[in-house]
Structure 1
Amino acid sequence: MARVTRALMTEWNPVLASEAELRSLMGVPSREVSSALEYTFDSGFGGERWRFGIRSGVVVSVEWDALE
């Protein structure tokens, strides 16, 4: 899933997309806080974490981290 997400982000910039659109493409988040949705993908050899900042139902930022 990590590779698929990376490929999606090269084709689609989620900034200014609605939270509903993000959820429809990414599915259920691994973690939810009041201002962000976080998706974690473990490949068995590490993985990736994608954090989407949300304000008023709109994606305002995207952060990516490699997991070891």
Structure 2
Amino acid sequence: MDKLLDPILRQPLSDALYVQLRAKIISGELKPGERLPSERVLSEESGVNRGAVREAIKRLQQAGLVAVK
């Protein structure tokens, strides 16, 4: 018998934020060259700590989706 539902997996907050920001970049909602909000603003808006924000931004940088100056 096939399963009705897939297992619900917990994921780190940085992963969830990475997925959201990546989707906004790919969809064009965040334009090339546009500055991301500050760590503080991203933290407040997403409800995650600044460490998770830094990790998400680091992953975006490694994926070539953002440049950190």
Structure of higher CA gyration radius:
2
| Higher share in strand | 1
Query: Looking at both structures, which has the greater relative contact order when contacts are Cα pairs under 8 Å and sequence separation is at least 6?
Result: 2
| Higher share in helix | 2
Normalising by structure 1, what TM-score?
0.32
